[in-house]
Amino acid sequence: MFSVYILYSELHNKHYTGFTSDLEQRLNSHNEFGKDWTSRYRPWKLIYKKEFENKNLAMVYEKWLKTGAGRDFIKTLPH
């Protein structure tokens, strides 16, 4: 199972979109100290997830969320 997810950093008013096969572990890694982009905008909270049985479908959906239409959809999500 693959999850496409959207995180929100209330402190920095930032969104992050990704996909993973282990959502709990991935959320923990985003909120830990590190040198990657997401570690600079901690804390993150999960505001949306959608699960797929197929990795390719998850990747297509994640890519769509990063388009203009996808970003418009993200703006409608409650934070």
Range of the domain at 9: 2-75
DSSP 38: G
pLDDT of the chain, 79 residues: tens digit per residue: 999 999 999 999 999 999 999 999 999 999 987 778 998 999 999 999 999 999 999 999 999 999 999 999 999 999 8
CATH of the domain at 30: 3.40.1440.10
pTM over 0.75: yes
Q: How far apart are CA 35 and CA 57, in angstroms?
A: 29
Q: How many domains is the chain partitioned into structurally?
A: 1
Give, in order, the Cα–Cα distances in Å from 8 to each of 15, 17, 42, 67.
5, 9, 9, 17
